[in-house]
Amino acid sequence: MNYKIYRLSPGELLLTIAEYALAAGLIAFLFYDSVFSLFFISPGILLYMANKRKQYIKVRNCRVKKEFSDMIMSVSTALSSGFSIENAFKESYKDMASLYGSDSLICRELSGFIGRLGLGVTLEECLLDYGNRTGIEDIKDFAEIFVMAKRNGGDFNRMITRCAETIRQKEETENEIEALLSGKKLEQKVMGVIPCIILMYLRLQTGNFLSMLYHNPSGIIIMTVCLVIYILAFYLAERITDIKV
């Protein structure tokens, strides 16, 4: 499984199309007062779907990191009980299956590990491949450290425990940042819809107040510039509040 690629499910695809259709309809009404403008707005759904995929990948990666952290803690516990490193990963499958279910992402990966180990593939190769497929720095770093420890005969239990603690500390820091930014993100979303609410009010309550901005070249240019600035403001606000640890 390539974690850098996300395929929308039928339900997610329908939801994405419905969201963009609603947004496109509002833009056509508020900024252009023309149904024909939908033909020019419609191609933007490709960018919207690409952005939705990035959001789904981000959510999935958070889940992958959490499950991976629990998995290596389980491996550490198995090592403390006297299991070899390969058998410790096999034992961790049972813990992850009881914790997340056998259909979880981490259980699928561990099942793949076990199968490949039976075919003679080394655990180092499995972990390096897993890190490359996820593209998550914590997992890639763990795989590289694991390879070095395996080659140099390091203390696996200590190394794995320290890696798990580091990942958990990063998760806690990210959660704290998310909690601090949650209010600002809500404000950003509210401020983002206010211009549309103002336009809607002017369109519905003031009659022909905005008529000079519709159905003429200069008005179309002005409203297009406003729309571009509006979209850029949304994009910049998302980037500002997307803080990575």
Q: Which residues of the chain have pLDDT under 50?
A: none
User: Is 76 within the bounds of a domain?
Assistant: yes
Structural domain harbouring 138: 10-173
User: Is 206 within the bounds of a domain?
Assistant: no
What pLDDT score was predicted for residue 154? 64
Residue with tokens 């990966």: 109
Alpha-carbon gap, residue 162 to 156, rounded angstroms: 10
User: Is 186 within the bounds of a domain?
Assistant: no
How far is CA 222 from its chain centroid?
A: 35
User: Is 203 within the bounds of a domain?
Assistant: no
Pair of tokens at residue 97: 């299956």
User: Is 226 within the bounds of a domain?
Assistant: no
What pLDDT score was predicted for residue 244? 67
φ and ψ at residue 210, rounded to 5 degrees: -105, 10
Each residue of 183-206: pLDDT tens digit?
777 888 888 888 888 888 888 887
Contact 160, 72 (CB under 8 A): yes
What pLDDT score was predicted for residue 161? 78
Q: Classify burial at 110, counting beta carbons within 10 Å of its beta carbon; exposed 0-12, middle 13-18, buried 19 or more.
A: buried
User: Is 208 within the bounds of a domain?
Assistant: no
What pLDDT score was predicted for residue 109? 92
Each residue of 80-105: pLDDT tens digit?
888 888 888 888 998 899 989 988 99
User: Is 113 within the bounds of a domain?
Assistant: yes
Pair of tokens at residue 19: 């969201």
User: Is 231 within the bounds of a domain?
Assistant: no
Could you give the number of structural domains in the chain? 1
What pLDDT score was predicted for residue 243? 67
Let me know the angle formed at the C-alpha of 240 by 235 and 245, rounded to the nearest 5 degrees: 130
